[in-house]
C-alpha cells in the first residue's frame, strides 16, 4: 500500500473517530488531520495480526534460554578461575563455547524453518512446544554432567 493510500485511509477513518489519542490520551473528536492536536503524534490506521504464541515461539524460547545456560556456565568457569587467581581451564570453557556455537546455529536454522514448523500437524506442534520448554533443562544437564564426568 502506498503512503498516500495509507494517509487517505487514516483520514477517512479519523473523520468518524471519537476517542483518546493513543499517546497522550487527549480526546480526539473527528480530527481532520493525522496529527494529534495536543501532542503532535502521527495517527495511523493499520491492520495488525495479534501476537499468538506458537510451538515455534516456544522452541525458539528454549534455544535462546539454552544459549543463556551456556553463557552462564562459561562465565562462571571463567569468573571463578579469575577470582581464585588460577589459570583459565580451557577444558571446561571450550565445550561451553562449542555448544554456544551449536545452539546459535540452531537458532538461525529454526528461524529459517518458521514456515515449515507452522505447517506441521497439531501433535508435532505439541511435541515441539513441550520440547522447547524443557530444552534449557536438558542442555543444563548435558553440560553439567559432561563437566562432572570429565573433570
The residues of the shown chain that bind Zn ion, judged by CB under 5 A, are 21, 23-24, 26, 36, 38-39, 41
Minimum distance from CB of 50 to Zn ion (Å)?
24
Task: Quote the least distance from Cβ 42 to Zn ion, whole Å.
Answer: 10
Cell of 18: 471519537
18, containing H or E segment: strand 18-20
CB of 11 to Zn ion, least distance (A): 17
Q: Which is nearer to Zn ion, 23 or 114 (CB)?
A: 23
Identity of the residue, 22 or 75, whose beta carbon is nearer to Zn ion in the bound complex: 22
Cell of 43: 495517527
Kind and range of the H or E element at 29? strand 27-29
The region, left, alpha or beta by phi > 0 then psi within -120 to 50, assigned to residue 40 is left
Residue nearer to Zn ion on the CB measure, 24 or 101: 24
137/62 Cα distance (integer angstroms): 9
Given the complex with Zn ion, which of 34 and 54 has the nearer CB atom? 34
Query: Among all chains, which residue has been given the C-alpha cell 518458521?
Result: 114
Supply the minimum distance, in Å, between the C-beta of residue 39 and Zn ion.
3
Amino acid at each position: 500500500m502506498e503512503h498516500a493510500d495509507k494517509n487517505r485511509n487514516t483520514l477517512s477513518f479519523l473523520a468518524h473517530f471519537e476517542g483518546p489519542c493513543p499517546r497522550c490520551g487527549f480526546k480526539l473528536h473527528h480530527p481532520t488531520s493525522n496529527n494529534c492536536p495536543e501532542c503532535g503524534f502521527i495517527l495511523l490506521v493499520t491492520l495488525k495480526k495479534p501476537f499468538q504464541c506458537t510451538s515455534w515461539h516456544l522452541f525458539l524460547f528454549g534455544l535462546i534460554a539454552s544459549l543463556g545456560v551456556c553463557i552462564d556456565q562459561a562465565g562462571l568457569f571463567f569468573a571463578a578461575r579469575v577470582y581464585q587467581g588460577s589459570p583459565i581451564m580451557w577444558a571446561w570453557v571450550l565445550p561451553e563455547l562449542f555448544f554456544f556455537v551449536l545452539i546459535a546455529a540452531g537458532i538461525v536454522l529454526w528461524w529459517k524453518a518458521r514456515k515449515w514448523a507452522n505447517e506441521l500437524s497439531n501433535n508435532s506442534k505439541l511435541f515441539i512446544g513441550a520440547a522447547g520448554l524443557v530444552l534449557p533443562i536438558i542442555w543444563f544437564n548435558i553440560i553439567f554432567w559432561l563437566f562432572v564426568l570429565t573433570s
